[in-house]
Amino acid sequence: MIATTLLPVAATRPGDATPADLERRYGAANYHPLPVTLQRGAGVWLFDTAGRRHLDMMSAYSAVSFGHGHPALVRVLTEQAERLAVTSRAFHTDRLGPFLRAVCETTGMAKALPMNTGAEAVETAVKAARKWAYKVKRVPEGRAEIIVAAGNFAGRTTTIIGFSSEAQYRDGFGPFAPGFVSVPFGDAGALEAAITSNTAAFLVEPIQGEAGIIVPPAGYLARAREICTRHGILLICDEVQTGLGRTGAVLACDHEGIRPDGLVLGKALGGGLLPVSAFLATEEVMAQFTPGDHGSTFGGNPLAAAVGEAALDLLVRERLSERARVRGDELLAKLRAIDHPGVVEVRGKGLLIGVEIDPAFASARAVCEGLLARGVLSKDTHGTVVRFAPPLVVESEHVDLAVEALAETLRSLDRRVA
């Protein structure tokens, strides 16, 4: 038996400890948050424990696309929670069927399999692609391969980090599952060259978010669709971050008029209130699942289904994809109008925009800290890119506030460098 030492209660509950202190004392150090403690949210605004108001330009990585505490979504959440929340999939419920219909009709896909997190939905896509390869394409058992793009980010499970090209995500967590082949993102020729008789699918983000808001060349997805069709492999689009209006269309793949064989949704599907995700696919792909093959205790629960259906209704009714396109074009233009040598590039689509900062000038973290001081919340990725991805309900006045805060931050950093 391993001996343990219990600290006195008084020693673990100091009266002057802040919430952030308690996080550091009792939590794993797997995040490096900005120095602000948030307490309340409303629309595009977040309020900290000191009562200061901040403009949210992160949307929890697109999970809060509808804004914080949208009244219609909170009402559905509350009413459903009072009636029925979780039963497991051992029984039918009155909420799951309508949710599945809504997500399929909204995306143009045939069938959906509900999960909770985006990573779970990606794992579901991997399982579906492999089983389809063995049962339909007749790939020899144990030899199915899935092609992925370098720079991808699909979650943190051991399978997913195994096909990541980011060294830190993999460091210390192996061994990893085989069966994945990586090709450069945006290179259709490399995709085609990597296909073999054992290839099951190509899994790709239409725009790479965590990699730094990397937009592929125009026509890339359409070319990938043609290649996959011609070679008899599945095209699976990971739209956990780009889906449901974020890029100015319901799906990012809509910009090129293509329909994938498999689709992964998450984040915004939960309305910013709880984790809801889904893997959607063609009839043929989804037919490979039979009772007992796959499941989730919480996946498709009545609470999640009710909120997910309401979020999809809100997306269409409030024309949020169109709003994202208009506000996104405005934000992109105004960010590009900032004439500063510290800005290397501004790129993105809709309300998913990255501002790349020259590391010789400053770190993206320093820029985010400067934005925080001016009442704007964002977070860097890879130390060089600042995200600008507000809730889709953002208005022009909020765009101006964010752009001016960035300009002021860059000028302030100029003085620090000098």
245-264: average pLDDT: 98
Tell me, what's the pLDDT at 3? 39
Q: Answer yes or no: same fold for 13-68+320-417 and 84-317.
A: no
Contact 114, 300 (CB under 8 A): yes
Contact 273, 313 (CB under 8 A): no
Residue 238 annotated as catalytic: yes
| C-alpha span between 29 and 182 (Å, rounded) | 30
Strands 199-204 and 145-149: parallel
Strands 180-183 and 199-204: unpaired
- Prediction pTM value: 0.94
Contact 264, 239 (CB under 8 A): yes
Tell me, what's the pLDDT at 9? 38
Tell me, what's the pLDDT at 1? 37
Q: Does the pLDDT at position 87 exceed 70?
A: yes
Tell me, what's the pLDDT at 415? 72
For helices 302-317 and 320-336, what crossing angle results, to 10°?
A: 70
Residue 167, CA distances (Å) to 150, 172, 173, 184 in order:
12, 10, 11, 16
345-359: average pLDDT: 98
338-360: average pLDDT: 97
| C-alpha span between 102 and 9 (Å, rounded) | 50
Residue 414 annotated as catalytic: no
Q: Does the pLDDT at position 14 exceed 90?
A: no
Beta-strand runs (E) in 24-119: 38-42, 45-48, 53-56, 111-115
pLDDT band of 16, cuts 50, 70, 90? confident
Q: Which two tokens stand for residue 243?
A: 């889906």
| C-alpha span between 90 and 359 (Å, rounded) | 53
Q: Nearest 5°: phi and psi at 263?
A: -140, 135
For residue 386, what is the enclosing H or E element? strand 385-388
13-68+320-417 sits in which CATH class?
Answer: alpha beta
Residue 239, CA distances (Å) to 3, 132, 146, 343 in order:
47, 21, 17, 28
Quick one: residue 332, left, alpha or beta (phi over 0 = left, psi -120 to 50 = alpha)? alpha
In the numeric block, the tokens 């590009």 are attached to 336
Q: Per the residue annotation, which of 66, 180, 185, 238 is the catalytic one?
A: 238
Contact 377, 406 (CB under 8 A): no
Tell me, what's the pLDDT at 418? 58
Tell me, what's the pLDDT at 15? 67
| C-alpha span between 386 and 354 (Å, rounded) | 6
Single-letter amino acid, residue 30: N
User: Which residue ranges make up each domain of the chain?
Assistant: 13-68+320-417, 84-317
120-126: average pLDDT: 98
Tell me, what's the pLDDT at 125? 98
Average pLDDT over the chain, rounded to whole? 95
Tell me, what's the pLDDT at 414? 87
Tell me, what's the pLDDT at 413? 94
Q: Per the residue annotation, which of 66, 99, 131, 153 is the catalytic one?
A: 153
What is the Cβ-side half-sphere exposure of residue 50, based on CA atoms within 13 angstroms?
7
- Please choose, from the candidates 236, 242, 222, the residue with its C-alpha nearest in 3D space to the C-alpha of residue 353: 242
pLDDT band of 51, cuts 50, 70, 90? very high
Q: Per the residue annotation, which of 267, 334, 349, 379 is the catalytic one?
A: 267
30-54: average pLDDT: 97
Q: Does the pLDDT at position 12 exceed 50?
A: no
- Full DSSP string of 247-290: TSSSSGGGGGT---SEEEE-GGGGTTTS--EEEEE-HHHHTT--
Beta pairing partners, 220: none
Q: Does the pLDDT at position 2 exceed 60?
A: no
pLDDT 10s digits, 273-295: 999 999 999 999 999 999 999 99
Question: Which of these ranges, 1-15, 24-38, 82-96, has the smallest mean pLDDT?
Answer: 1-15
All residues at 6 or more sequence positions from 42 whose CB lies less than 8 Å from its CB, including other chains = 67, 68, 69
Q: Does the pLDDT at position 331 exceed 50?
A: yes
Contact 285, 236 (CB under 8 A): no
Residue 153 annotated as catalytic: yes
Q: Which two tokens stand for residue 199?
A: 């290839």
Q: Does the pLDDT at position 249 exceed 70?
A: yes
Strands 111-115 and 277-281: antiparallel
Domain 84-317 classified CATH 3.40.50.2000?
Answer: no
Tell me, what's the pLDDT at 159? 96
- Please choose, from the candidates 147, 88, 143, 133, the residue with its C-alpha nearest in 3D space to the C-alpha of residue 288: 133
